């Protein structure tokens, strides 16, 4: 039975991506009917279940969090200036946003499945998204073609990250038995993530099919996002070897909030640059599937 569950989890993410791609049009209709609220609600529920496991007293800011933030923003600027002269402005913007995007909401869930220190990741997730809301507007104004504010980004982050954390901590304080039940059934968060992945993949496929861009530029954006995905996971894991938690740092640096990245690209950069974070969705979830497979195999 245990082997069966491991096999299901190993195959579930690639299968969810295939289902989302094949059913992209009906799924887009469902998303439009929900006015774009279905995926954020699923992510918020998923994170609430995970956050019920976290005692706020175990959360600590650490030096590794600062190093990861420095890599995120300094790396984004460096990537822009390296890629733009070689591949053009659009690809440079797409590469930059793939590095500048904060840690994904689901990174905590995947990290927990891979044995990471969840408290470390939750602390970084909160700090990273708030710092991104503070710094990203300046960078988007400098390298993009629009103006962005702290309030606009924080309003994209608060409902799916900060609100579930606050509610989970209130649940731990006021309804201990309920919090313990959610903690004991934390695997539910993985299945909620699978549903949201199907929806995100459906919307991603529709976006790629409907985008009118030069095919060569699309390929360049997809390839640069693959290179950056592998690089960021590798850099994060290297940081983790110094800190003592390879998985937590690898997921924190490599797994990106691509939904936020696509939104920032469409609104404040050249819209075609959003193909890079869109492709990043595919690469990081394939890599996560491989990591889950290796982890289950070792176990």
pLDDT (tens digit, 9 = 90+) per residue, 12-21?
Answer: 778 888 898 8
DSSP string for residues in 82-143: HHHHHH-HHHHHHHHHHHHS-B-TTHHHHHHHTT--HHHHHHHHHHHHHHHHHHHHHHHHHH
Coil/strand/helix, residue 185: coil
Residue 181, both tokens: 């039940």
For residues 292 and 9, give the distance between their C-alpha atoms in angstroms, rounded to a whole number: 8
pLDDT at 238: 95
Domains of the chain: 2-298 (1.20.1530.20)
Coil/strand/helix, residue 55: coil
For residues 16-41, give the mean pLDDT: 86
Average pLDDT, the chain: 87
Output 138 or 144, whichever has higher pLDDT.
138
Say if CB 248 and CB 263 are below 8 A apart.
no
pLDDT at 12: 79
Residue 8, both tokens: 């299901």
pLDDT at 2: 47
For residues 52 and 124, give the distance between their C-alpha atoms in angstroms, rounded to a whole number: 17
For residues 78 and 219, give the distance between their C-alpha atoms in angstroms, rounded to a whole number: 22
Coil/strand/helix, residue 256: strand
193 has pLDDT over 70 = yes
pLDDT at 6: 59
Return the CA Rg of the chain: 18
49 has pLDDT over 60 = yes
pLDDT per position as a tens digit, 223-264? 999 999 999 999 999 999 988 889 999 999 999 998 889 888
- Residue 209 binned pLDDT confidence (cut-offs 50, 70, 90): confident
pLDDT at 71: 96
Residue whose C-alpha is closest to residue 221's, from 261, 173, 181: 261
For residues 212 and 209, give the distance between their C-alpha atoms in angstroms, rounded to a whole number: 8
For residues 175 and 183, give the distance between their C-alpha atoms in angstroms, rounded to a whole number: 12
For residues 181 and 206, give the distance between their C-alpha atoms in angstroms, rounded to a whole number: 38
Share of the chain above pLDDT 90, in %: 34
How does 170-206 read in b/e, with b if 16+ C-beta sit within 10 Å? ebbeeeeeebeebbeebeebbebbbbbbbbbbbbbbb
36: left (phi over 0), alpha (psi -120 to 50) or beta: left
pLDDT per position as a tens digit, 53-109? 888 887 888 899 999 999 999 999 999 999 999 999 999 999 999 999 999 878 888
For residues 262-277, give the mean pLDDT: 89
């Amino acid at each position: 039975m245990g082997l069966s569950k491991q096999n299901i989890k190993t195959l579930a993410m690639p299968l969810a991506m295939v289902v989302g791609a094949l059913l992209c049009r009906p799924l887009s209709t469902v998303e439009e009917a929900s006015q774009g609220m279905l995926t954020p609600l699923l992510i918020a529920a998923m994170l609430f279940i995970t956050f019920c496991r976290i005692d706020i007293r175990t959360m600590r800011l650490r030096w590794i969090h600062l190093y990861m933030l420095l890599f995120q923003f300094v790396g984004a600027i460096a990537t822009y200036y390296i890629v733009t002269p070689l591949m053009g402005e659009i690809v440079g913007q797409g590469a930059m946003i793939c590095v500048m995007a904060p840690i994904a909401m689901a990174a905590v869930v995947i990290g927990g499945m891979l044995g990471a220190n969840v408290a470390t990741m939750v602390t970084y997730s909160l700090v990273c998204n708030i710092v991104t809301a503070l710094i990203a507007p300046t960078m988007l104004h400098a390298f993009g073609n629009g103006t962005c504010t702290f309030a606009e980004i924080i309003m994209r982050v608060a409902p799916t990250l900060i609100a579930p954390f606050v509610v989970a901590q209130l649940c731990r304080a006021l309804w201990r038995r309920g919090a313990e039940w959610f903690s004991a059934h934390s695997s539910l968060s993985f299945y909620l993530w699978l549903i949201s992945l199907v929806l995100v993949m459906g919307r991603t496929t529709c976006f790629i099919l409907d985008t009118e861009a030069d095919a060569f530029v699309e390929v360049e954006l997809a390839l640069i996002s693959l290179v950056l995905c592998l690089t960021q996971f590798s850099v994060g894991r290297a940081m983790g070897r110094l800190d003592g938690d390879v998985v937590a740092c690898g997921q924190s640096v490599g797994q990106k909030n691509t939904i936020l990245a696509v939104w920032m690209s469409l609104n404040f950069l050249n819209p075609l640059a959003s193909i890079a974070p869109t492709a990043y969705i595919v690469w990081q979830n394939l890599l996560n599937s491989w990591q889950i497979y290796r982890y289950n195999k070792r176990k």
